[in-house]
Amino acid sequence: MTIINPSNIGETPFQKLLGHNPKVMEAWSSLGNVLEVDDLLSSDLKEQVRRALAQSNGCEYCKAKGKPDPNVFDEKISVAVGFAEVFIKQKGNISQSILDVVKHSFSEAEMSELFAFICFTTAQQYFGSLMKLEAVEER
């Protein structure tokens, strides 16, 4: 059970918690929509990163889709997921050697997108954790 009641605004349980502040919910959702789709990085890569982050960020709602699926990993997904796991464990204090690995696999524009996605997703998952947002059962 969440620590506050959901609002009547929003489509998902997450949005309904943000819906108490419609402008925040709309802006948050808009940025999420931009970051989650295929751009320089594929939505498949981002989904695997999201799943990796969810395992450590404490949001049960976010964990519901499961752990990263190594069966879909290629080199870029492996590096991105590995980087996300290091980011969480190191609290953002990333060594130059780790950054060099990322620079070897991603362009600067791709790194910018990946880092923005990781930071935004972490914020979403922390919000879900703080709100005690639980997994939604499929019907």
Which three-class secondary structure state does DSSP give residue 15? helix
Which top CATH class is 13-130?
Answer: mainly alpha
| Average pLDDT, integer, range 109-122 | 98
Largest CA distance in the chain: 47
pTM beyond 0.75:
yes
Span 80-114, pLDDT tens digits: 999 999 999 998 899 999 999 999 999 999 999 99
Give me the residue spans of the domains in the chain: 13-130
